[in-house]
Structure 1
């Protein structure tokens, strides 16, 4: 089994600059199959698009979902000490224990969609630095977090989705979006786990201070993740990049998961081509971020939990799309006349 690891920030940048593309032959074959199935053209709507997308990245006319991996990363943030969440920082470790015990929403939903669940806590005892005052991570810490993410991406996976747990992590997510996607800070800062307006205003100030401190130095994806991100956020970026290198399609979860790749898309606009947006969450800024990424969400359920839960639900749609694509008869097989 070949595990991808990045030896340096240069290796990370080189991988980002040399991304594999979808297989056009498999895409065309899947499209021809869709056109031959016993239904009016386009009558299954986006389910047809999903099946063709999956075929193009899996290099096969008939995609499959034999192995789905859900990787949930956890990290703590120095910025949380500024009171930017309704929950205390110790909840991160407590929720990791809940994941291990099988008691969280993602445990139930991963089981329901048939995903292998992997939980990766990253140095919870050592929060990132307060990025108002200094970079969130050293170069070594950021690279280690990226590699922790890349390490979960095994050969033979048919679909990957990632999730996160980290009290306070909507603040670095907003900072990453404001730096990568531009626009006003208030476009990207929301209520997170349920802050009142005074808390949202504090978050806006913190993000503005962080951008003033680090913005001029954020000259590539790695440096942006290092200065404004977090360990679990960098890990998600590393996992999604490793999946692209192995041509494994990815379902993006909510605002924080999508924010993790914003710096990569800013450097390489085609980076999200192997990704589907699972849902649009209730977090302010997520729809704007999806528009910037060029992705149309599969679901809009008002979810804002994180943990990969939105992607787990959307996996059921991918299953349905592939079941129809592979299981339906063609007009020729069913001896049904096609439209003229």
Structure 2
């Protein structure tokens, strides 16, 4: 990519993907402003030489409007999310507020400045639902959970408001991304990081169902330039899957993580399926190749090894538990703090 100029707002810039994107855009010459509510962000992910960072809760409409009137971004890279798809059925209010409502606050405020040129919305493969994979960008949106419904609404609202107010947009559907800067303490998402932290804490690896679920994992560095290229006009109006080319089972993923962490074997315990979890979910990749030049230069196997090296330097992390809004017999037992305490896992509520 060639270097460029322009003022960009990156939301979720202290998080996993947001921090990578913010840093890369700054390296390309853009003026980068970053915001994060720090609920799941990490201050270690923030390079203040590469982004002008502000702690901001995007659910607070008045604060968001004041901030955006000050920044007046030309481009919005929206990565802020509570991306806990499986947990969304048990905290539906939080998932709607932190995803759909927060995004609408930001997008509306950006439109009001009359400076907005383009939105790059980071959505989710979850909007495809339980259709037959590989999921193509031409497929209908058929969300199967509360998180996916929020993401589908964010996509459609972007299309509608773009038509009314004239800003350009690209919708990115990343899937199953792993790499350095990913939270190791989050019990609800990021299976690679969860497996690594389980091993470092000398705990069993828990797999929901039979482990034959399939996903196409990708290493963050392989996708990063493609994310940033979405600012270019060639991607205007497009929905683009960006992520792994080859799909594997969760059982195979566990083997890869165990090996990368330097272990020959590890105790694996299978639990009952999570409610409404899609069994097989992976996407087509041809559009990302033709439009953005996507290729797996590193690949997920080597990416996991690099991530494992980083994780071992950080060391085992305490689990963070969040109080769900609704509980019943379908709530995964690993999400209860007393379950982990009984098995020797220590964590804390946030």
TM-score after normalising by structure 1: 0.32
More strand by share: 2
Higher relative contact order (CA 8 A, sep 6+): 1
